[in-house]
Amino acid sequence: MYDFCTACKIGLGGITLGGAIATGAHGSSLVHPSSISDQIVRLQIIDGMGNLREISDPQDVNAFRVNLGLLGIIVKITLAIVPLFKATVQTTLEPESILMDGTAQRWANNLDWMQMWWFPSTSNVVVLKGHYHIKLTGSKSDDYLGNATSQFIPELDPVIITTGHDAYETLEANKNRPGLYALERFTELSLHSEVIGKPPIFSEDGVNIKNPANGIAWRLMSNRCHTYCPWNNGNTSSILPEEFSVALQILNLPSAIKTIKEILEIIPTAFTMVGIFIRFSKPSDSLMAISNGHETVTLEWASPMRDNPYEDAKGGLGAYQAILQSLIKNYKGRPHWGKNGLYYFRQSILEETTSNLDKFKSYMKKFDPDGTFMNNFGKRITGSSNEMNIDPLVHHCALQEYCICSKNEDCGHFQSCNKVKGFSVCRDLADVYSDSNYDPTNLTSILYAIGAILQVED
Ligand SMILES: Cc1cc2nc3c(=O)[nH]c(=O)nc-3n(C[C@H](O)[C@H](O)[C@H](O)COP(=O)(O)OP(=O)(O)OC[C@H]3O[C@@H](n4cnc5c(N)ncnc54)[C@H](O)[C@@H]3O)c2cc1C
């Protein structure tokens, strides 16, 4: 059961099984396989020489499980499946201390499905606990267990969608942090209670919340918004999220949370859309899975794109960049293949974080010796180049994570490139000036702030 990518169905023209497998799309469980890639039994592919091949050797299958589109064209996939089943889910509000004292891991170890949304500004976590029922669907069990569905990405009145879009843009343009925190609190509340302006997260009738809720498991995990969707539905008045996601060994969760809290002390930031979404994966045999070889926790968040993403930074960009860089550097965090900007897939980071790189390269040679499927991304994997395909409209490379800033021009309007905990990040000038490190009696500090305000290079 996978709760990935409900939004892709809406805004991105429809996620495919081939794409989900190539990128290692995952849901959340330490007890069951959390990725479709892990359910592959065998495949039929066309290799780089144009041969139709069956892939059933277990080692070959492990290479294809997360293949990044570099081993061949997948034409047929055989998956291990289970009969349709029901689940019970409940979301509750917990203190963030559960992330640091081992409680969250303990729960995850004992639940069929568990995921969390952490809201740093309120120090709360919404925890979703899910239990699977082996009893299959059938009229009696349907009645007994209920038929709730998720409305995580709900159908909304178009006026509400436009209002939400405009609210984000206005709050971000004005650097209105209290307003953004209010949105974060609204999101938190909507995940466990009824709120005005958004249908309940779980419901049987679409109006009244069910918490706990019972229903067919996949319908509690993902929903499909068909008409008016808050996340991009192809019109400019909805919200187009950019996503960030890093996977860590589960034992690093407590210290990673502390690191994030330290960064947010320096750059206070609201996580308005989904908080910091925390999911789990059991160890995978897939060579390139972010959960290869160890129990994994994924920390991810989404941020609405600005109306002019080529000039204006999304709120909190500096914090996002410091968090990503420190999770990768300090905890060997693995960036999710289907999310994050291209900077995070440069050779040095891949070499540092992807232990099976050489093995995967040998499979690239085996199935595509002539480089038919080679592209700039593949060249990063092989280590032959760091080139990337860049949107031609981009001229501030750090705004969409094509680079880590080295000069102020890499950042957005009214931003400068600064160091935070040793990492280069784009910060809003207003924040730099009001930084707690700023000391109006210290000449260096004053010059630093002036430099930042004039957007002079460090
Ligand atoms: C809003 C949103 C929510 C998301 N939620 C989640 C989530 O919950 N969990 C998660 O893990 N991920 C999530 N993702 C990431 C998502 O899983 C990937 O973006 C998605 O799987 C890519 O699928 P696609 O069909 O769009 O593939 P594309 O983007 O079209 O392709 C991705 C790669 O797959 C290769 N590929 C595609 N088809 C084939 C084929 N037939 N044979 C060989 N190679 C192929 C392509 O060459 C490319 O390299 C989310 C993404 C978005 C935008």
Q: Position of tokens 């059933």?
A: 56
- Cα 425 off chain centre by: 20
Q: What is the pLDDT of residue 238?
A: 81
**Confidence check: pLDDT of 189 > 50:** yes
Atom 48 in ligand 1: which residue has the minimum CA distance?
69
Centre of ligand 1 to C-alpha 15, Å, is 6
Which candidate, 36, 34, 20, 4, places its Cα nearest to that of 69? 20
Token pair, residue 405, equals 């800033």
Which residues face 125 on adjacent strands?
94, 118
Q: What is the pLDDT of residue 455?
A: 47
Q: What is the pLDDT of residues 5-56, one digit of tens each?
A: 333 444 444 789 999 999 999 999 999 999 999 999 999 999 999 999 999 9
Cβ < 6 Å from ligand 1: which residues?
Answer: 3-5, 7-8, 12, 15-16, 18-20, 22-23, 25-26, 68-69, 73-74, 243, 338-339
Q: What is the DSSP string of 315-365?
A: TTHHHHHHHHHHHHHHH-PEEPTTSS-GGGGSHHHHHHH-TTHHHHHHHHH
Given pLDDT bands bounded at 50, 70 and 90, which one contains residue 222? confident
Centre of ligand 1 to C-alpha 324, Å, is 21
Q: What is the pLDDT of residues 417-434, one digit of tens each?
A: 999 999 999 999 877 766
Token pair, residue 251, equals 């034992």
What does residue 415 show for φ and ψ, rounded to 5 degrees? Answer: -130, 160
Which residues face 216 on adjacent strands?
86
What does residue 105 show for φ and ψ, rounded to 5 degrees? Answer: -60, -40
Instruction: Please name the helix (run of DSSP H) or strand (run of DSSP E) that holds residue 107, with its range, or none.
Output: helix 103-110
Token pair, residue 205, equals 């009738």
Given pLDDT bands bounded at 50, 70 and 90, which one contains residue 450? low
What does residue 377 show for φ and ψ, rounded to 5 degrees? Answer: -65, -40
**Confidence check: pLDDT of 233 > 90:** no
Q: Are 156 and 230 in contact (CB under 8 A)?
A: yes
**Confidence check: pLDDT of 446 > 70:** no
The residue type of 193 is S
Dihedral sign computed on CA atoms, order 116, 403, 259, 169: negative
**Confidence check: pLDDT of 357 > 50:** yes
Q: Position of tokens 């002036």?
A: 450
> Based on C-alpha coordinates, what's the Rg of the chain?
22
Q: What is the pLDDT of residue 340?
A: 93
What does residue 301 show for φ and ψ, rounded to 5 degrees? Answer: -155, 165
Pocket test for ligand 1, best of 5, 38, 75, 388 (most atoms within 8 A of CB): 5
3-state secondary structure at position 309: coil
**Confidence check: pLDDT of 4 > 60:** no
Give the range among 161-175, 201-215, 358-372 with minimum mean pLDDT: 161-175
**Confidence check: pLDDT of 440 > 60:** no
Atom of ligand 1 nearest to the CA of 336: 11
Atom 22 in ligand 1: which residue has the minimum CA distance?
19
CA separation, residue 268 to residues 177, 189, 263 (Å): 8, 20, 8
Q: Are 6 and 25 in contact (CB under 8 A)?
A: no
Centre of ligand 1 to C-alpha 36, Å, is 12
Which of the two residues, 458 and 83, has the higher pLDDT score? 83
Q: What is the pLDDT of residues 261-291, one digit of tens each?
A: 999 999 999 999 999 999 999 999 999 999 9
Distance, CA of 390 to CA of 377 (rounded, Å): 12
Atom 49 in ligand 1: which residue has the minimum CA distance?
69
Given pLDDT bands bounded at 50, 70 and 90, which one contains residue 231? confident
Token pair, residue 240, equals 């187009």
pTM: 0.92
Token pair, residue 116, equals 């969390």
Centre of ligand 1 to C-alpha 175, Å, is 33
Q: Which percentage of the chain shows pLDDT scores above 70?
A: 88
Distance, CA of 62 to CA of 67 (rounded, Å): 9
Helices marked H in 120-236: 139-145, 158-173, 177-190, 217-221
Q: What is the pLDDT of residues 286-318, one digit of tens each?
A: 999 999 999 999 999 999 999 999 999 998 999
3-state secondary structure at position 196: coil
Which of the two residues, 337 and 456, has the higher pLDDT score? 337
CA separation, residue 41 to residues 1, 64, 176, 250, 279 (Å): 16, 11, 51, 27, 24
Is the peptide bond between 440 and the residue preceding it cis, with omega within 30 degrees of 0?
no
Residue burial 203-220, b: 16+ Cβ < 10 Å; e: rest: bbeeeebbbebbbbbbbb
For the chain, the first-to-last Cα distance in angstroms comes to 49
Looking at every residue in the chain, the average pLDDT score rounds to 90
3-state secondary structure at position 435: coil
Which of the two residues, 248 and 134, has the higher pLDDT score? 248
Which of the two residues, 352 and 441, has the higher pLDDT score? 352
Pocket test for ligand 1, best of 2, 6, 8, 116 (most atoms within 8 A of CB): 8
Centre of ligand 1 to C-alpha 22, Å, is 7
Pairing of strands 276-281, 124-136: unpaired
Given pLDDT bands bounded at 50, 70 and 90, which one contains residue 154? confident
Q: What is the pLDDT of residue 11?
A: 42
